[in-house]
Structure 1
Amino acid sequence: MTTSETNVELIGTDLSADLAATALSLARRFNAGATLWVVSPQWEPHAHHVAVEFVHPVIMGKRALPSVSLVEPDPVAQCRVASRPGDVILAVASADQAQVREIMRRAPAWGTDTIWIGSGPRPEPGSANHILWVDSDDPMVPATGRFVLMYHLLWELTHVCFEHPGLLRISDDECADGGCVTCSDEGRLAEVVVAPGNPLDSALVRTAVGEEEVDATLIQDIAPDDLLLIHGGAAIARIDPDEEVR
């Protein structure tokens, strides 16, 4: 897709494929009861705009999709409190936006899928479940309408998926492929809710399947909001603040 005035390709082949895959994933989440939480610390109007689009059906009589913009000063805390396992967090932000990076790191422990829309230098691969990116260093891209075009297409394509109910069912093969967090206990990410009162107590953590208690005797000085790697009901490592989570 290009503009006749500037001959700039707005949505290239790779981004088109990314949009289609993201829309299908998002439709499946909505179909299972998810809420979409939207953050944009740098460009708050984008957060409002995305949320408004999704709660308005593309065609009159079609379903509205639950979407809420989170625009308080601490979006990490907001996402932590608001989201439930199975929800989706969408961020419109540059790759170096610290709060969004932190949300993306913690989202696996909250059990949420993530979508990251932005431009300029890309986030590291695996930083979000879906990355929709404009490969341009022009600082005006967020204000030129290209972001709006992307999330309008995402909104419309998500509704298109609902017109094909067969697409919304996730097969057992898809669930097992790649380590679905509900199907295995291999190195799951957890966020500490309540630290142990003494070295022999368990820690209450938040994981992709909800809150649970884990053995914390291998890790010293655990504190609330720490990110832990858990396996077999025990915390086996702490994730450092600067360490990327894949």
Structure 2
Amino acid sequence: MFDLAEQAGEITRTCRRMAERFQRGGKLVVFGNGGPSTDAQHVAVEFVHPVIMGKPALPAISLTSDVATFTGVAARAGFAETFAHQIRFLAEPADIALGLSADGDCRNVLRGLEVARSIGLLTVALAGGDGGTIAATGAADHVLVARSADPLVVKEVHVTAYHLLWELTHVFLERTGVA
């Protein structure tokens, strides 16, 4: 079972780097398939419309929200390119790419992270299982793995992890006086 305490150092490093990107005017670009697609939307809303009073909004978009673009790219370029294509046209080097995969083997999440990294984005992945190909290939600068084969457990760990990413990124921004 995944223990977030074991990942405390990696979570801290990730959030510090995310805060640096936001300070430079970057935005968060989030994506995932199936259940993680709704998590991607949840993450984007958390950053753009914080529910905690006094926390500043930070720019974020979910690449799963535009069904017309998602299905259009899938029809023309193939499902594996759905996120990579959008990142090529919507992302900037100062941005952060956050890919979510319940098993770590989603080809389009992997391709999105690969393209994001090639453009210069900070790349972060939340993966389940053993981290799958996303963890094995090193496509992301930071990978947090919910070590469970149960997708429900993975989802709960991911929800906790992205709330930690949100909170600690704000802590770093507050300490530098940018927020």
Answer yes or no: same fold by TM over 0.5.
yes
Aligned residues: 158
Distance of 2:58 and 2:174 partners within structure 1: 14
TM-score w.r.t. length of structure 2: 0.80
Q: Secondary structure, in 3 states, of the residue corresponding to 1:163?
A: helix
Q: Percent identity?
A: 37
Asked if residue 149 in structure 1 is aligned to residue 152 in structure 2, the reply is no
Runs of 4+ in 1 over 3 A off after TM superposition: none
In structure 2, what is the equivalent of residue 37 of structure 1? Answer: 29
In structure 2, what is the equivalent of residue 213 of structure 1? Answer: none
Distance of 2:146 and 2:27 partners within structure 1: 26
Distance of 1:92 and 1:67 partners within structure 2: 15
Q: Secondary structure, in 3 states, of the residue corresponding to 2:151?
A: coil
Q: Secondary structure, in 3 states, of the residue corresponding to 1:96?
A: coil
Asked if residue 103 in structure 1 is aligned to residue 106 in structure 2, the reply is no
In structure 1, what is the equivalent of residue 75 of structure 2? Answer: none
Amino acid across the alignment from 1:19: I
Runs (5+) with no aligned partner, structure 1: 1-7, 169-246
Q: Cα deviations across residues 169-216 of structure 1 (Å, max 9, x unaligned)?
A: xxxxxxxxxxxxxxxxxxxxxxxxxxxxxxxxxxxxxxxxxxxxxxxx
Q: Secondary structure, in 3 states, of the residue corresponding to 1:118?
A: strand
Residue from 135, 142, 163 that aligns with 2:174: 163
Q: How does 1:1-246 map to 2 (within 5 A)?
A: 10-13=3-6, 15-43=7-35, 44-57=37-50, 59-71=52-64, 72-73=70-71, 74-93=82-101, 94-122=103-131, 123-124=135-136, 126-143=138-155, 145-165=156-176
| Native 8 Å contact 2:117 2:139 kept in 1 | no
The structure with the greater share of residues assigned to helix is 2
Per-residue deviation, 1:9:
6.4
Amino acid across the alignment from 2:85: A
Per-residue deviation, 1:121:
1.8
In structure 1, what is the equivalent of residue 79 of structure 2? Answer: none
Distance of 1:127 and 1:148 partners within structure 2: 22
Distance of 1:75 and 1:111 partners within structure 2: 16
Per-residue deviation, 1:146:
1.5
TM-score w.r.t. length of structure 1: 0.59
The structure with the greater share of residues assigned to strand is 1
Decide whether aligned partners of structure 1 residues 137 and 87 sit closer, same or farther in structure 2, where only a CA change above 3 A counts.
same
| Native 8 Å contact 2:32 2:40 kept in 1 | yes
Question: Could you say which structure has the larger radius of gyration?
Answer: 1
